[in-house]
Structure 1
Amino acid sequence: MSTQFKVCNCNHTMPLDAASGTALGKALDAGPLNVVTQLCRREVGAYLDAVEGVDQVVVACTQERALFSELAAQKQTVAPIRFVNIRETGGWSAEAKTATPKMAALLAAAALPDPEPVPTVEYDSGGQVLVIGPASRALPWAERLGAQLEVSVLLTSGGGEGVQDRLLPAFSGAQIRIDGWLGAFKASWQQANPIDLEVCTRCNACIEVCPENAIDLTYQIDLDKCTSHRDCVKACGAIGAIDFARDDTMRKGEFDLIFDLCDAPLITLHQPPQGYFAPGANEAKQTGDALQLLQMVGQFSKPKFFAYKEKICAHSRNEQTGCNACIEVCSAAAITGDGNHIKVNPNLCVGCGACTTVCPSGALTYAWPRPSDLGLRIKTLLTTYAKASGAQPALLLHSQEHGADLIGKLGRMAQTGGRLKGVPARVIPVELHHTASVGIDVWLAAVSFGATNIAILTTDEEAPQYVTALRSQIGIAQTILTALGYQGSHVQLLRVDTPQDLDNALHALQPGEVPAQRATFHVTQEKRTTLEFAIEHLLKFAPQKKDEIPLPAGAPYGMVHVDTAACTLCMSCVGACPESALTDNPNLPQLRFIEKNCVQCGLCEKTCPENAITLTPRLLLTERARQAVVLNEAQPWHCIRCHKPFGTLQMIENMVGKLSAHGAFAGNIDRLKMCPDCRVIDMMENKRETSILDLKR
């Protein structure tokens, strides 16, 4: 299927003309492009003609996306339509006249096919809402929302206009706990107040008899005022709503949505579950969240953002925890330990992808888009940019929400004649679902493809642990590049909040040195395979050749050191290693190590009963990294009965030394020197001899 590109200079506000159209068409192998001036107005006929057929149409305008989509729907077109922003990302900048290579790159990437679909996660919300908070705040909102939703209210304190009418279920409580997600929330609380609102009939008898005025129309007793005279209990009588000595105080319920109006959120996660809103006392946010809440009734779906290969997961073995990186970085509490592996709750996962970035083995991979899809997009961007005679390309990785919004503001402010310059011509924006989803494998691949900078734009939407993780991964990537002699800073984290900050940061970027020849490999689904391709290419053209590179802590490569004096070759480490980096020799008592496979998870170190193992992060660049090297070996011990080799001399000597004084082995020490088969035979023979002696007696 061919692609038609529709490019507009937006009423002459971008320096695009016939010459630009020719240059763009050449870079895109599409022939000269006709650059129009008012595609969304006077020249809309050119767009309508393009969507008549079945060929894909790429429209270089996102401003009027809604209009173009509506027009296509009216024509009932079957042509796939894509939209790409070349205006705020380059056409509206001080360097717009030299931004043609970037525009060509963005157009080419927009023409790529959609990633293959992935499994989806389903939500079903019937509109049952639990409004939580002080009465003065929760009751008015419960009344408003009750007109369209099925509302229950949980009061954390009294006051306000009261709950005289029983129009909705009302509870009160403390020690509130919320678990779950959209359509499947579970709430529990302690019935702390003596008055149970579900039993109370609002007869006001308790209010009338209370001498301290400790009860108001919220039907909750102010225990600071109450002197325990219990007149209210007598007045309530057989109704039994008031009980100062209630034994059963646990309450719970299931809801589809949570509207948390408490001063401090009940769920403090950076990424709370979908369907949970916590505006607190902020009235503007209350209104905004209430509008969103009203839209969350029905059936919803989202992509399953991750794929998990438990076979190579380095989380745990035999109740020993090794790698905990994904659990620690997840801001949605979606990942938990599950025996020797991990468990990811797809309903809680918000798709940040930080877990895949810190995963050393590649057991967790990002699935939407897949690494191979993103790699193809980046490779297309850089290849097209180079073909259009672009120089020193920089990639700006940004989120599709706050990041894209900040870039848009920068472009508009630059176009209106302010002091801002806009996005530089060599900086190519790459929109991601979340910036934390891309890590060292894609970064080094991008440098191999010719990217002189990878700038990662972060805003306040990133959790603090994401920023920490990204900084750590950047340190590893930059250590490798610098050690190989590539000059400059290649991967930068841009922490900005305003268009001015972004403008300054982008124009301060200095190109890093890249390989003399661009790589041709493809980014794969397997993280370590992509890393291997990238590192091999970087090493091949490296200004400085190295055999090994010391790496910072947390790196996914390294050496295992064994104290041979302490190691008994029990092979516990071999059984614990999830990556087959440590192996035995079936023919000899040897502990062998393949460094390329090691992810530095630490399971071998924690499992070793003799504390004989230590780890050293490094990147070995010679063929030795792929070869099995012997870390320890010993003289085999031969069974004293059948002479078959089993175990090692050191192991048997240690075992004899430790167990010789044990009562179970008194008089049978030689059995420890036998192989398992002979040990059983010896036991049976001894038992038989004992039985014969008993009979003779």
Structure 2
Amino acid sequence: MPLQAQRLGAALGEELPLHSSLCRREAPAFQQAIRGGAEVVVACTQEKKLFAELGTQTEGAVSPVRFVNIRETGGWSRDAREATPKLAALLAAARLPEPEPVPTVTYKSSGRLLIIGRLDDAERAAALVEDVLDVTLFTQGGAGAQERRYPVLGGRLDGLTGWLGAFQLAWTPANPIDLDLCTRCNACVAACPESAIGLDYQIDLARCTGHRACVKACEAVGAIDFNRESEPQTESFDLVLDLRGQPAFAQHAPPQGYFHWDGRDLRTLLKLRELVGEFDKPRFFVYKQKLCAHSRNEQVGCNACVEICSAQAIASEKSRQQIKVNPNLCVGCGACTTVCPTGALTYAYPRAAEQGLKLRTLLATYLQAGGRDGTLLLHSQEKGQALVEALGRSARLGQAHGVPANVIPVALFHTASTGVDLWLSAIAYGASQVVVLVTGEEAPQYLEGLKAQMAVAQAILHGLGYTGTHLELLHADAPAALDAGLRSLAQTRQLLPRQPARFAVAPEKRGTLEMALDHLIEQAPQRPESIALPPAGSPFGSIAVDKDRCTLCMSCVSACPASALQDNPQLPQLRFIEKNCVQCGLCAGTCPEDAITLQPRLLLTPQRREARVLNETKPYACVRCSKPFGTLKAIEAMLGKLAGHSMFQGAALERLKMCGDCRVIDIYSAENESKITHL
């Protein structure tokens, strides 16, 4: 690689001792460096295992060691001589502190495996894992071996739920043959005149005509009983191997510990064999119920996280005005946090502030080193990372162009884990583009969610006069497709803020959005009064109130989770602070008069942060004490609806015009007068 140590050192603010043949030849230089106490960065990941072992074996080693790949990500490219700013950025990011630990979710598996499928197929699969796992079979037809080597269950499968270490099988043994007692002597098979008994030792009751020859043939063992009551059964397992054509779990991301196997790819069985013991994974999310706009008063508003979750880990609890996230089912995609408009769900692995610091460091170093038109390529740390590295190797062999000099790859745990807050922050920091690489491993709803969020962010940027395409999904599943996609990105130019931002990403999503917007608006080539936003996924907007319908009942105020809608304790007014609105729709769904309509937009005037009156009316004064106790329109509407009712005639109708205190006094007075008259 054409490395320029002096330029790299200048970009990083220090003189760098550079070793460029580290793989084996300069290993002693690495050992000497880690004894010195200063930070050591190994800018190659191929020999990570070697250097990690050297670190543990080197006496007096005290230096922290970080690893980063600059070879496939830019050093092996036709643009390698222009890639120094990018390499400096990658080195700077590698020196950042490790993210703080997050809480973990623990799975415990003792190796109890349930295999569901045809008996012969299940027995063949069991033979490949029985030395490690405790196998139980659930038969679904087929012919079993004569020797019974595993416990066998059979009947109607009623349900399968759970996750690694905690699967629950529910079934009803609705068959006369008890597979626990059956010895597989085949006497019943031979005795049945209708051939209704198969070698899975289950009776086809549709073919059986009641000769009961099988019962007589099995009399000594007693495994067949047509009078046995079929009672539902349950049993627990740690792992499930499903051999059926239709999987038990239809969602894109099935629970950990569940495998749907076609019988060919032996890597599935290798994974199964490894899942015995105790396993930890990060708790990927943080949920703050007070920010959640999911439900109020039994009405569902924002349902974005429930709809996008590919693992069915999020469920609605509208009676408790919240959602419920099952950490055992969560796979850490972060899509729920991306589409959440309020920040009630935030991604924790890493946290937004840590991810923001990384993006700011990458872009600030890149610009300081003289880089231009920097593009962040966000990709997954598994398939996406492998694709980027494969492209680098193809470039080394002269078969591809390689990663362009202005494209900075950034590995994420999952590509759906970043959203409009971090994307707009990156543009504010000086990124020309933010490109999300999708490789086919993403659920379809993830792609729709990312497109919707990108449309919102792009509408804001275009509305402010930042021309060009700043956000893009790049689909690629092979190095050649990635190479072509990255080269097409280099042909476009985007208008950017004149000065890059320096703010730190906040823990709260809305706080980060406000800081990014403030900077982008301040630097904007144009500043209209408002920007219309797409209705799908917009986290900003106003509402329109039909004043002819609205009775100022204030149901919308009690339903609003963001305090965007407010009443006035002194006057019958409905007030609105647009900055707080998250377009959840709870106000529109709650309004008994259907008087509210959502208006997705971004208001750019100072009124966005100020309370404005959406509707107001005259107060209605009590006819007895003259104290205002409601709105003129609401009381008149009530009187109009109840005037013809038999329960509200005469004095009863007149009491509706009184405040609560006077109404009680009037009723009490009327009762006393009635008693006096009676006496």
Identify the TM-score tier after normalising by the shorter chain.
over 0.9
**Which AA in structure 2 matches 1:105?**
A
Residue in structure 2 matched with residue 11 of structure 1 by the alignment: none
Q: Is the 8 A contact 1:133 1:260 kept in 2?
A: yes
Q: Counterpart of 1:579 in 2: which secondary structure?
A: coil
1:649 lines up with 2:635 in the alignment: no
1:140 lines up with 2:138 in the alignment: no
Residue in structure 1 matched with residue 355 of structure 2 by the alignment: 374
Aligned mates of 2:375, 2:79 — CA distance in 1? 14
Q: Counterpart of 2:66 in 1: which secondary structure?
A: strand
Residue in structure 1 matched with residue 443 of structure 2 by the alignment: 463
Aligned mates of 2:130, 2:278 — CA distance in 1? 20
Residue in structure 1 matched with residue 141 of structure 2 by the alignment: 157
Q: 1:637 to 1:224 in 2, by over 3 A?
A: closer
Q: Counterpart of 2:458 in 1: which secondary structure?
A: helix
Q: Is the 8 A contact 2:572 2:616 kept in 1?
A: yes
- Specify which of 149, 167, 172 is matched with residue 190 of structure 1: 172
Aligned mates of 1:42, 1:51 — CA distance in 2? 16
Q: Is the 8 A contact 2:19 2:26 kept in 1?
A: no
Structure 1 residue 647, shift from structure 2 partner: 0.7
Q: Counterparts of 1:521-532 in structure 2 under 5 Å? A: 521-532=503-514
Aligned mates of 1:577, 1:222 — CA distance in 2? 59
Residue in structure 2 matched with residue 412 of structure 1 by the alignment: 393
Q: Counterparts of 1:321-360 in structure 2 under 5 Å? A: 321-339=300-318, 340-360=321-341
Q: 1:195 to 1:158 in 2, by over 3 A?
A: farther
Q: Counterparts of 1:94-493 in structure 2 under 5 Å? A: 94-162=78-146, 164-165=147-148, 167-223=149-205, 226-237=208-219, 240-244=222-226, 246-279=228-261, 281-284=262-265, 287-339=266-318, 340-418=321-399, 420-493=400-473
Q: 1:230 to 1:511 in 2, by over 3 A?
A: farther
Q: Is the 8 A contact 1:156 1:174 kept in 2?
A: no
**Which AA in structure 2 matches 1:428?**
I
Give the alignment's TM-score, normalised by structure 1. 0.94
Q: Counterpart of 1:35 in 2: which secondary structure?
A: coil
**Which AA in structure 2 matches 1:508?**
S
Q: Counterpart of 1:314 in 2: which secondary structure?
A: coil
Q: Is the 8 A contact 2:174 2:230 kept in 1?
A: no
Aligned mates of 2:658, 2:58 — CA distance in 1? 86
Q: Counterpart of 2:268 in 1: which secondary structure?
A: helix
Q: C-alpha deviations, 1:31-69, integer Å up to 9, x for none?
A: 1332322x1211111111111243332110100001111
Structure 1 residue 229, shift from structure 2 partner: 2.4
Q: Is the 8 A contact 1:183 1:275 kept in 2?
A: yes
Give the alignment's TM-score, normalised by structure 2. 0.96
Q: Is the 8 A contact 1:23 1:32 kept in 2?
A: no
- Specify which of 509, 525, 535 is matched with residue 543 of structure 1: 525
Gaps of 5+ in 2: none
Q: Counterparts of 1:552-567 in structure 2 under 5 Å? A: 552-554=534-536, 555-567=538-550
Q: Counterparts of 1:579-590 in structure 2 under 5 Å? A: 579-590=562-573
Aligned mates of 1:96, 1:213 — CA distance in 2? 74
Aligned mates of 1:212, 1:35 — CA distance in 2? 81
Aligned mates of 1:623, 1:155 — CA distance in 2? 69
Q: C-alpha deviations, 1:401-430, integer Å up to 9, x for none?
A: 110010011000110121x10000100001
Q: Is the 8 A contact 1:448 1:518 kept in 2?
A: yes
Q: Is the 8 A contact 1:176 1:266 kept in 2?
A: no
Q: Is the 8 A contact 1:475 1:552 kept in 2?
A: yes
Q: Is the 8 A contact 1:310 1:363 kept in 2?
A: yes
**Which AA in structure 1 matches 2:441?**
E
Count of residues in Structure 1 that have an aligned counterpart in Structure 2: 672
1:686 lines up with 2:660 in the alignment: no
Q: 1:490 to 1:471 in 2, by over 3 A?
A: same
- Specify which of 38, 45, 48 is matched with residue 65 of structure 1: 48
Structure 1 residue 246, shift from structure 2 partner: 5.0
- Specify which of 492, 497, 511 is matched with residue 515 of structure 1: 497
Aligned mates of 1:327, 1:216 — CA distance in 2? 44
Q: C-alpha deviations, 1:604-646, integer Å up to 9, x for none?
A: 0010011111111010011101010000001001111221111
Structure 1 residue 540, shift from structure 2 partner: 1.2
Q: C-alpha deviations, 1:70-99, integer Å up to 9, x for none?
A: 111122634322110000000111101111
CA RMSD of aligned residues (A): 1.6
Aligned mates of 1:321, 1:55 — CA distance in 2? 55
Structure 1 residue 209, shift from structure 2 partner: 1.3
1:675 lines up with 2:659 in the alignment: yes
Aligned mates of 1:156, 1:246 — CA distance in 2? 21
Q: Is the 8 A contact 1:585 1:591 kept in 2?
A: yes
Residue in structure 1 matched with residue 485 of structure 2 by the alignment: 505
Q: Counterpart of 1:121 in 2: which secondary structure?
A: strand
Aligned mates of 2:195, 2:62 — CA distance in 1? 72
Q: Counterpart of 2:451 in 1: which secondary structure?
A: helix
**Which AA in structure 1 matches 2:410?**
V
Q: Counterparts of 1:6-25 in structure 2 under 5 Å? A: 14-16=1-3, 20-25=4-9
Q: Is the 8 A contact 2:112 2:133 kept in 1?
A: yes
Q: Is the 8 A contact 1:125 1:182 kept in 2?
A: yes
Q: Counterpart of 2:395 in 1: which secondary structure?
A: helix
Q: Counterpart of 1:36 in 2: which secondary structure?
A: coil
Gaps of 5+ in 1: 1-13
Aligned mates of 1:199, 1:249 — CA distance in 2? 17
Aligned mates of 2:256, 2:328 — CA distance in 1? 8
Residue in structure 2 matched with residue 597 of structure 1 by the alignment: 580
Aligned mates of 1:85, 1:365 — CA distance in 2? 28
Structure 1 residue 221, shift from structure 2 partner: 2.7
Q: Is the 8 A contact 1:271 1:332 kept in 2?
A: yes
Residue in structure 1 matched with residue 32 of structure 2 by the alignment: 49
Q: 1:506 to 1:192 in 2, by over 3 A?
A: farther
Structure 1 residue 526, shift from structure 2 partner: 1.1
Aligned mates of 2:393, 2:653 — CA distance in 1? 86
Q: 1:199 to 1:670 in 2, by over 3 A?
A: farther
Percent of residue pairs identical: 56
Structure 1 residue 662, shift from structure 2 partner: 2.4
Q: Counterpart of 1:508 in 2: which secondary structure?
A: helix
